[in-house]
A and B are shown apart, each in its own frame.
Chain A
């Protein structure tokens, strides 16, 4: 039997005296969808940051396709070695780079083939081909969100982490955002973990829905 894409066992994390994650375990297979709901400050974003390798856990293990990524406090696989991409609430676009550079640069840096041709293709798919030379500051909110997803799509990740990526959007824009996400998932076949405080988003994503309660995951 092949290893799951992501296998998290007994994860612990505290900030000072405050316990954020307590003995948290989670498994995820290729193409699977998971949503994690919970109030602000319950540790949802911290979990994603630990999964991405941006933060170290205090204890527990994380394996990606059978390879150890975290061992207790030690980060074994660096963030860029994990094949994970993340979309933040504020999107994390690079203000100095144009739309085209956002996708071409990341493909080049990741050693993927045909950076320009594939990059343009991705942008065309997500309806950004008219804005190739624009910088993020000159894009509308919806266009900027599509660019954030285009960047992820261009990198062909195995796992996409969405950190409140649709929060603060009105229903219409949220629906557009999900439509873009569907395109990305269809194109890459990636698994996805969405953290949100909104049950509507969790329902819209589909897949398995969890709630984070006292640092652990429970079925919603």
Chain B
């Protein structure tokens, strides 16, 4: 049996990975894509009102992408490539804002500034997704040829910095494109700002509106314009990524950060301001809200806050456990599937790779709420009742949706391991799984665990399809959403912070583990 599992050919395993993606992501996508075969229905889909909503979504998301670009790009360049006090901490904290639920960030900024309406959504999405351009910028700078950087440094520091800007511009732009897509497909934030202030309706909220009259088919099909938009942007980013590949080197030294004299306090200041906007201010406000009280209250802030945390843990515990169960299951599935997918991408020729990338990535870019509608339509069948009501369904959806993130990270890290190591193992007669898991994944085990941790974190953070699916209704994100909409009390803030802690955990553990390994080395 084991000998059969460890076959020398990778093809059966790659087929398994493709089948799993088909089941987890593309079956729920089928009802969304169905109108593509009916051109007449496609034309009916956009009337004047819905076209206006789509246009609003586009400009709101463009604004969000711009904010993400303008905050994430400089933050990453300064934190990763300039030497100043505390640069390491800024680098470490860079991904965290991405893990905060956007709704919580919206709640915090509304509390801090009272902002509402369209611009509040633009700003909130922008700061939530700023880590995307930042992380891609950091990655590209890590792949800048050290000698190219040093040659530029021999000309002058400004020249070296301008070269860094040129190298990292496209990755930052790709990050901004992803920010655009995530903002366009999210309904909860504009919906929240609309309920607390000026009415602002976007296309994703229109899709979600179909759930109120249980019209799941309309919900799934009406999301097609956003799916097509996502597809177009995905093609554009694939093209940008292809151009960027020519600018990067996969092997060799990483350039050392640029030493600064007078500029180091300016760099520290800029990074600090950006970090306050992206992370500290929203978290600080939520911490404050845990103990916030009415004028007539006689209790102190700390008393109210500890009661709120106690309340959050006792009332929300079951939901957190259920969320962690299905997200953990998804993380486990990704532990198996992501290496297979990453290896398949690395071994594919460029045309196939592009197709596979689209197949893999599209489920991440469709509105999550539409994925929920699609799942209901496809899996709510009498013969699938047990599966439909079990945690397997949300686990499968979380896997299908967030697998691309795990695959990107692993493909990137696996690509840096010399091919010769795996070839030597193949010549020695090692089976495929041994080659993959021992020689390709062995040296990057911490990244492998991190990918699973990130899938768990994104699963916990996922709200949109969890609202729709009965099996995910009792989840942490849905409880938070309901609590925020029906009352704005200390419980909401404390519960949000508990969630944030859970979400930060994988990234912080991974950073701690990496640090430990570096010290040992």
Contacts and interface: CB of A to CB of B under 8 A. Distances in A.
Interface of A: 49, 52, 54, 78-80, 84-86, 88-97, 105-106, 109-110, 135, 137, 151, 155
B473 interface: no
B156 A94 contact: no
B153 interface: yes
Contacts of A137: 246
B167 A109 contact: no
Contacts of B246: 95, 135, 137
A79 B159 contact: no
Interface in B123-153: 145, 147-153
30 contacts: A52-B154, A54-B153, A78-B157, A79-B154, A80-B154, A80-B156, A85-B151, A86-B150, A86-B151, A86-B154, A88-B151, A90-B252, A92-B145, A92-B147, A92-B148, A92-B151, A93-B148, A93-B151, A94-B163, A95-B145, A95-B246, A95-B248, A96-B166, A96-B167, A96-B247, A105-B159, A106-B155, A109-B159, A137-B246, A155-B155
Contacts of B49: none
Lowest 10 CB-CB distances: which A-B pairs, in order?
Answer: A92-B147, A88-B147, A92-B151, A95-B247, A80-B156, A96-B166, A92-B148, A137-B246, A109-B159, A109-B155
Contacts of A86: 150-151, 154
B513 to A, nearest CB: 23
Contacts of B252: 90
Contacts of A52: 150, 154
B289 to A, nearest CB: 46
Contacts of B167: 95-96
Nearest to B251: A90
A91 B152 CA distance: 12
Contacts of A85: 151, 154
A54 B148 contact: no
Nearest to A148: B151
Nearest to B148: A92
Interface of B: 145, 147-159, 163, 166-167, 246-249, 252
A54 B151 CA distance: 10
A80 B157 contact: yes
A155 B152 CA distance: 12
Contacts of B152: 94
B518 to A, nearest CB: 14
A49 B150 CA distance: 10
B147 A91 contact: yes
A91 B149 CA distance: 11
Nearest to A88: B147
A155 B156 CA distance: 12
A95 B155 contact: no
A51 B465 CA distance: 60
Among A52, A54, A97, A155, chain B packs the most CB atoms within 10 A around the CB of A54
B311 to A, nearest CB: 53
Contact of B150 (A78, A92, A95): A92
Given A90-B252, A91-B147, A106-B159, 17 more contacts: A54-B150, A54-B153, A79-B154, A84-B154, A86-B151, A88-B147, A88-B150, A94-B148, A94-B166, A95-B148, A95-B246, A96-B163, A96-B247, A97-B166, A106-B155, A109-B159, A155-B155
A85 B153 CA distance: 10
Nearest to B247: A95
Contacts of A91: 147
A151 B150 CA distance: 14
A80 B148 contact: no
Contacts of B166: 94, 96-97
B147 A109 contact: no
Contacts of A105: 159
Given A90-B252, A92-B145, A95-B167, A110 B156 contact: yes
Contacts of B156: 80, 109-110
Contacts of B163: 94, 96
Contacts of A88: 147, 150-151
Contacts of B151: 85-86, 88, 92-94, 151
Nearest to A93: B148
A130 B325 CA distance: 63
A65 to B, nearest CB: 17
A105 B155 CA distance: 10
Among A54, A95, A151, chain B packs the most CB atoms within 10 A around the CB of A95
Contacts of B247: 95-96
A32 B362 CA distance: 62
Contacts of A106: 155, 159
Nearest to A161: B154
B403 to A, nearest CB: 31
B158 A109 contact: yes
Nearest to A52: B154
Contacts of A49: 150
A92 B145 CA distance: 7
Among A85, A89, A92, chain B packs the most CB atoms within 10 A around the CB of A92
B77 to A, nearest CB: 15
A93 B148 CA distance: 5
B155 A110 contact: yes
A135 B244 CA distance: 13
Contacts of B158: 109
A125 B246 CA distance: 27
A95 B247 CA distance: 5
A160 B341 CA distance: 47
B145 A90 contact: yes
